[in-house]
Amino acid sequence: MKNAIKQSFLVAAVCFFLFPGIAQAAEYSNLEVRKILVSTKTSSGEPIKYLKTSRPEVTVLDIILPPGGSTGWHKHPVPVYAYVQEGTITVSLSKGKTITFSKGDAFVEVMNTVHNGINMGDVPVRLIVFYTGEEKGPNVIREEPVKAADNEK
């Protein structure tokens, strides 16, 4: 029961920080509310899966990626939500698919899928990223994508 309450609180907290206008719109008539994202799937189309933990921890980062820069190949073992404040980022998935997000876009990052975010533009990309992980657990794991030739061995 305590885990269910903690998980419900964690989801509510993420929604409050990610979508504060939605959480409070009914209570305040003087607010302008703009829905940014409602999704049941990650950016690659997979169902969203919440982490089951008794030690939940939310980490919020302000990430700036310079023109021509990349995040490096990595994956997330936890749910991650991002909002693009400036610029355009192209996310390459290990299977060759690319997804592009621009200023004003919010998205649910892929989970347990190796990917690399690249700034192909002329201005810095600025992301606000919410990691919904667990205390002392990793939010990011560096990993190179598996190449087709490696799969054939």
Domain membership of residue 64 (yes or no) is yes
Q: Which residue reads 């993420």 in tokens?
A: 14
CB–CB of 107/55 below 8 Å? no
Q: What is the pLDDT of residues 32-78, one digit of tens each?
A: 989 999 999 999 999 999 989 999 999 999 999 999 999 999 999 99
Domain membership of residue 53 (yes or no) is yes
Domain membership of residue 153 (yes or no) is no
Domain extent for 79: 2-145
- The CATH number assigned to the domain holding 130 equals 2.60.120.10
Q: For residue 56, give the nearest of 149, 139, 145 by alpha carbon.
A: 139
Angle, vertex CA 99, rays to CA 97 and CA 103, nearest 5: 170
Domain membership of residue 129 (yes or no) is yes
Q: What is the pLDDT of residues 74-116, one digit of tens each?
A: 999 999 999 999 999 999 998 899 999 999 999 999 999 999 9
Domain membership of residue 93 (yes or no) is yes
Domain membership of residue 83 (yes or no) is yes
Whole-model pTM over 0.85:
no
Domain membership of residue 19 (yes or no) is yes
The total number of structural domains in the chain stands at: 1
